[in-house]
Chain A
């Protein structure tokens, strides 16, 4: 029998960036918040020996333990879904702070176009894509979400420059000047300018200077050690939930953080939720945590899975198009290329989001009337720090092992640079999340099943962006360029992007969304669900800034609901 605990005002399931925002905002407003995190507790002191590529980058030291829980995957409904047995294509985070600890910290806004993609595409191009693509407006315009973007960027600190002519209007400048422009980046910038593009320093939640957040948390300047992505930052220079948000909640005395607490069910009675049931992952004991308000703050996959397990909302049915839970599952289109140069460069130094980006081929910043796709992607050259196990690029035609490989991989380690794009991903009726009927997690619950494949739109965009990237590298002076192949089918093995979205989308109508524009569930007004799962489509850049903005919007919703106890729309 599960032990029933004392009731709290708010419980969050998951404590990463979204759980951190909810905890900070709600505790500061005087509410008692319980944070349930299924991973272990950690602080910056756990990252003192983090410069270990084998442990963290290759063996995924900070990622989800798949022996406890994974997903199953099929490219289409006709296949047999099989478990993702190892990590690959995307990296699910684990532990306090979640994926917000191992991220590269690129913190970029979506365009005004993204939030009204259906209306604006129709206006300019008519019904360009077929009805198989479930394009929808977000239920919030850019102007409405702008103040929340600003809040999030200041709360965690962001270094950047207002230089791109394609940016939406900003109410305030970036909190910090951009990170340093290395020789590699300035060469890329010149090449982009030569091709008529508009490059700018990539917005980074990595400190270019000492920074104190509006909550009073201190962050330190980046040391350019080259260990960001897949690592935690031992300098408190890269922002994460554990150095910007969680301590804010802890200092109020109103926050009860419990790690190793895996929520397995959201309890619902009538049209309200009453709390959550969780398992202590160390002892196996079960608890029920009653709460006035429940906020699901875990990663995309798990937010959707919990609603499905708890039977809250109607499952999406790709046959009929009915139901909303699991629909609009999107990923990203990730073309990229490596350029090989004559000169040696300091590729080992850098920071995760130290880069130069351009938006000339992103959003609706260029005319698509003669193209087979809409939207586009941010192209970036990162100076993130090449590492020796992971970086073994060799020019086309070189064997992949043996004497020639050794020579070429050693020679090119300091002479190879990569550039890549994050192409937007648009919802398709056949791409969705559901529950698997064969495979189970360590708690005996069904695994989440992902049905996903690239679409015609994706492949057309891939080719287009791939050519632009090759041109940029050639303009930079590369002797030769090797591009990633444009795969016919999505493959779960090679790493592509952790930017997974959808499944619990937001909107103005319960017919095509799971939550309203306060991230409040249509079927239970004291249940909020927040994260990249709310995105009706995935934009052409990193999702975290938008996730953070939605978390601030959600926090406002929770506080409003706490006063009124009704639906907010």
Chain B
């Protein structure tokens, strides 16, 4: 399916007015994309299944349910459910983060991790020897330890206001951790939550493209030739890369 689709798109470019040497036909490409995407919805059961509630939810990285629940509760406080739409949990953000930690992101695969490690000046950036997967595990454990010390409860069992208090301490660097500052963990964690809200749904977050819908972002669309000169705001249905496979 995927090869055929992309060959057809390339062929389309080569054989229509969008090819060099001929005048461009404004708007024709986007119409083509939309039709193609609709065709997928109707005929590709895999895509259709993914869009419904049957998104496979399994953990690739976390082994301990409490850890995952702490991550989920904290993520929801960063991006809570409200009248605009779903929060981090409903969007699948904890699974997004879990999947990422199991791969190149979690293992800092394309970063320079060679020692010796020194703290350095803030202008010199991230210097901790901890891999991101360990940073998350240690950061989550530190948050929960703080919750137990302060409230005698696990973090997920706290009220939202109590959870926010702990997260604010973490943000300020006031929670005790080894080999990194809690403020550093907080900034990495917060960025991961935002990424899970808005990354293409194929990564397991942004369920049903709801992150994009809230922001009125049209997703992975291929062209805007028909609206680029429009004087009014265009609210366009989003499409995912998965819609194009």
Residues of A whose CB lies within 8 Å of any CB of B are: 45, 48-49, 51-54, 58-60, 65-67, 69-70, 73-75, 79-80, 82-86, 88, 180-183, 209-212, 218-221, 223-226, 234-235, 343-346, 348-350, 387-389, 392, 400-403, 406-407, 410, 413-414, 438-440, 489-493
Contacts and interface: CB of A to CB of B under 8 A. Distances in A.
Interface string B113-147: 11010101111111100000000000000000000
B84 interface: yes
Contacts, number: 191
B82 A407 contact: yes
Contacts of B222: 51, 223, 225, 234
Interface string B190-202: 1001110111100
Interface in B54-109: 77-80, 82, 84, 104-105, 108-109
B120 A82 contact: yes
Contacts of A66: 110-112
| Majority secondary structure of chain B interface residues (helix, strand, loop or mixed) | loop
Interface size, B (range)? 35 or more
Given A70-B112, A220-B13, A389 B224 contact: no
A75 B123 contact: yes
Contact of B215 (A388, A402, A493): A388
8 contacts: A51-B222, A84-B125, A183-B231, A210-B23, A212-B21, A223-B222, A346-B228, A406-B82
Contacts of B241: 49, 51-52
A212 B228 CA distance: 24
B162 interface: no
B148 to A, nearest CB: 23
Interface of B: 6, 9-10, 13, 18-24, 29, 77-80, 82, 84, 104-105, 108-114, 116, 118, 120-127, 164, 167, 190, 193-195, 197-200, 203, 211-212, 214-225, 227-231, 233-234, 241, 244
A226 B110 contact: no
Given A52-B241, A406-B80, A392 B194 contact: yes
A467 to B, nearest CB: 25
A54 B204 CA distance: 12
B228 A224 contact: yes
B217 A413 contact: yes
Contact of A225 (B10, B200, B224): B224
B21 A218 contact: yes
Contact of A84 (B21, B104, B112, B234): B112
Contacts of A401: 77-79, 167, 190, 193
A388 B200 contact: no
